[in-house]
């Protein structure tokens, strides 16, 4: 079990050079890590971050600069709201 957790943690560090997404405390004793679900979660989160970054870049091009408050709101908004905002601004 510890070998699987060790592998998952080091794969996360190797791929993203960030804090591991799957931590030993997240895996109950005796259970296996479902790497398929873990990879799907990571890919979904990366897509969300990419959408946020694209919208911020588009707003900077259109308006010149955006406030820290707006940038924070974009970061905390759901993907559905970001898509709707993008359509309303650029259509």
Residues 6+ apart with CB under 8 A from 37: none
d(CA 53, CA 51): 5
pLDDT tens digit at each of 91 positions of the chain: 455 544 444 444 444 445 555 566 656 566 666 777 778 877 888 888 888 888 888 888 888 888 888 888 888 888 888 888 878 777 7
* Judgement on whether residues 60 and 25 belong to the same structural domain of the protein: no
* Judgement on whether residues 49 and 89 belong to the same structural domain of the protein: yes
Q: Which domain holds residue 19?
A: 1-33
d(CA 78, CA 61): 22
Q: What is the pLDDT of residue 13?
A: 46
Q: Give the chain's domain count.
A: 2
* Judgement on whether residues 61 and 89 belong to the same structural domain of the protein: yes
d(CA 8, CA 23): 8
Three-class DSSP category at 11: helix
Q: What is the pLDDT of residue 18?
A: 54
* Judgement on whether residues 49 and 22 belong to the same structural domain of the protein: no
* Judgement on whether residues 60 and 77 belong to the same structural domain of the protein: yes
* Judgement on whether residues 55 and 29 belong to the same structural domain of the protein: no
* Judgement on whether residues 11 and 28 belong to the same structural domain of the protein: yes
């Amino acid at each position: 079990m510890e070998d699987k957790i060790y592998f998952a943690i080091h794969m996360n560090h190797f791929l993203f050079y960030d804090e591991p997404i799957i931590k030993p405390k997240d895996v109950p004793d005796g259970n296996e890590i479902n790497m398929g679900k873990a990879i799907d979660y990571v890919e979904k989160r990366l897509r969300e971050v990419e959408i946020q970054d694209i919208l911020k870049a588009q707003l900077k091009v259109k308006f010149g600069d955006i406030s820290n408050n707006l940038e924070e709101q974009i970061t905390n908004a759901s993907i559905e709201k970001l898509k709707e905002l993008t359509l309303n601004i650029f259509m």
